[in-house]
């Protein structure tokens, strides 16, 4: 089962926070998205034999960070 959906949810929440001037919340959601990606990757590494091609191919969520967001 793919856990990538949570990246989409966190990204959507971050964009809503940004649009509503919630800068600290948006920043925290950006960090949380990275944490979630790391955990999903860790799960994927430990369950590599059970992943489907949909979960291992290109096009995985990337938190939709703009170039200016990445330090």
Q: What is the mean pLDDT of each run of 10 residues along the chain (71 residues)?
A: 87 97 98 95 76 48 59 37
Q: How many CB atoms lie within 10 A of CB 38?
A: 10
Q: Which domain range does residue 37 map to?
A: 1-48
What phi and psi, each to the nearest 5 degrees, are found at residue 67? -50, -40
Whether residue 15 is contained in a domain is answered as yes
**Structure tokens of 13?**
């929440």
Give CB contacts under 8 A, 24+ apart, made by 43-48.
43/3
pTM over cut 0.75: no
**Structure tokens of 10?**
């966190």
Whether residue 33 is contained in a domain is answered as yes
Whether residue 63 is contained in a domain is answered as no
Whether residue 24 is contained in a domain is answered as yes
Q: How many CB atoms lie within 10 A of CB 46?
A: 9
User: How many residues appear in the chain?
Assistant: 71
Whether residue 27 is contained in a domain is answered as yes
């Amino acid at each position: 089962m793919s856990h990538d959906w949570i990246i989409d949810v966190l990204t959507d929440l971050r964009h809503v926070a940004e649009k509503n001037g919630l800068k600290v919340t948006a920043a925290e959601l950006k960090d949380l998205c990275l944490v979630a990606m790391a955990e999903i990757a860790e799960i994927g590494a430990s369950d590599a034999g059970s992943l489907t091609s949909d979960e291992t191919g290109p096009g995985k969520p990337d938190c939709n960070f703009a170039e200016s967001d990445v330090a």
